[in-house]
Amino acid sequence: MSSRPSLALSLLLAGCAPALAADDAPPLACPALPASAGLHWETRDQGAFLLCRAMDAGDQQAFGIMLTRDKPDIRLDKRLRAEAGAVNGQGMYWYYPNAGGNALKNRRIAVVEVGEDRYAQIWIDAPDEPRMQSLQNVVRELSLR
């Protein structure tokens, strides 16, 4: 009995392993929001990423999360680091957006790895400092997987 067919089959399956692994990965899903936050998700599945917009009772966006399996191609400059935070129980940093000056003082952005080949880009656009801190606390409670 020849080992060539089994070797060829092994090589073929090895080449398919990344695709099979991606198919086996759990689907991207918006995390549960704390009931006390008074927010609900508006979602948009874009195939390569899932957009989750946390909306308040007046349908205004409180914050947003883009979940993807590809690392976001966004550079966060250390000079724009605002404050430390957390998500999924791991430390991270919030950053000021790269443009806009003082008009963006209550806006923040962060990119975190939330699992193997799973990333979250999170942004907050708050009307004032207390609301921004409140929304950062909501994000801290999320379980992103």
H helix or E strand, kind and range, residue 9 = helix 4-24
How high is the pLDDT of residue 17?
39
| Residue matched to tokens 């590809």 | 70
Six token digits for residue 88: 């999924």
Q: Per residue of the chain (145 residues), what is the pLDDT tens digit? A: 444 444 333 333 344 434 434 556 678 899 999 999 999 999 999 888 999 999 999 999 999 999 999 988 888 889 999 999 999 888 999 999 876 566 678 999 999 998 888 999 999 999 999 999 999 999 999 998 7
**Going by DSSP bridges, is the β-strand pair 107-115/118-125 parallel, antiparallel, or unpaired?**
antiparallel
CATH classification of 27-141, choosing from 3.50.4, 3.30.40, 3.40.1000, 3.30.1490?
Answer: 3.40.1000
C-alpha 94/C-alpha 86 separation (Å) is 9
C-alpha 37/C-alpha 40 separation (Å) is 9
C-alpha 14/C-alpha 34 separation (Å) is 42
Domain ranges (residues) in the chain? 27-141
What is the pTM (predicted TM-score) of this model?
0.78
